[in-house]
Amino acid sequence: MLTLRKAQERGHANHGWLDSWHSFSFAGYYDPAHVHFGALRVINEDRVAPGMGFGTHPHRDMEIISYILEGAVQHRDNMGNGSVIRPGSVQRMSAGTGVQHSEFNPSNTEEAHFLQIWLMPNVEGVPPSYEEKEFSDAEKRGALRLVVSPDGAAGSVKIHQDARLHAGLFDGEEALTWPIPAGRKVYLHVARGTIQANGLALTTGDALMLDKESALQLAQGRNAEVLVFDLA
């Protein structure tokens, strides 16, 4: 079964310094049909104004992934981690028993554009931890590069959940048929550009949910960047 959700159907909140689109119910946006998809709980597309950001706030028992599209995000937490992440970086924070962190746009001139992704963990009460890795465009070009997994396979960041996140770049003649194992379902998010997925035309912010399908087929990308979640 294929379920297409268009970008404009997402929840939206504009706070001036923050313009955010919510793929799933979040904060003041609630849609009973879109609370989660398997373990996938949040995809927020955030645009943060120069010099602005999220002050120190708590999380617990959640796997939190930041995927940078443009600009930069400065991260600090009470575990002692501090870094500036840029496009190509994937940051993972396992909140576990509890963590405090902040996220700011360190630029005085450029907007920060990134995806904040939450996955519900399959175990609670673990010690909080942090990980960050870079993945080149060459690794993602015309392919789906594993960037998040439960076992750190292929140099991916590691989460506490039976879920895998792949990132891909597609343009022109680049195409891919990606088998979906039995019993798994897939959530495709188009981070930018346009692409055809299983015969359906998708554009920036669109999502395609695949349940009981045997393969994901990607073709006719135009400056497309996609995130593909493989979920139990």
Q: Contact at 8 Å (CB) between 231 and 39?
A: yes
Per-residue HEC secondary structure of 30-73 comes to: CCCCCCCECCEEEEEEEEECCCCEEEEEEECCCEEEEEEEECCE
Q: Is the entire prediction scored with pTM above 0.75?
A: yes
Superfamily of the domain at 2-231:
Jelly Rolls (2.60.120.10)
List, for residues 78-105, the tens digit of each pLDDT value: 999 999 999 999 999 999 999 999 999 9
Amino acid, single-letter form, for residue 199: G
List, for residues 120-167, the tens digit of each pLDDT value: 999 999 999 999 999 999 999 999 999 999 999 999 999 999 999 999
**Residue located via tokens 């695949």:** 210
List, for residues 5-58, the tens digit of each pLDDT value: 999 999 999 999 999 999 999 999 999 999 999 999 999 999 999 999 999 999
Sorted by sequence, the CB contacts under 8 Å of residue 27 that are 6+ apart come out as 13
Question: What does each C-alpha distance from 105 to 31, 32, 54, 80, 178 come to in angstroms?
Answer: 29, 32, 9, 19, 36
Q: Which sequence spans correspond to the domains of the chain?
A: 2-231
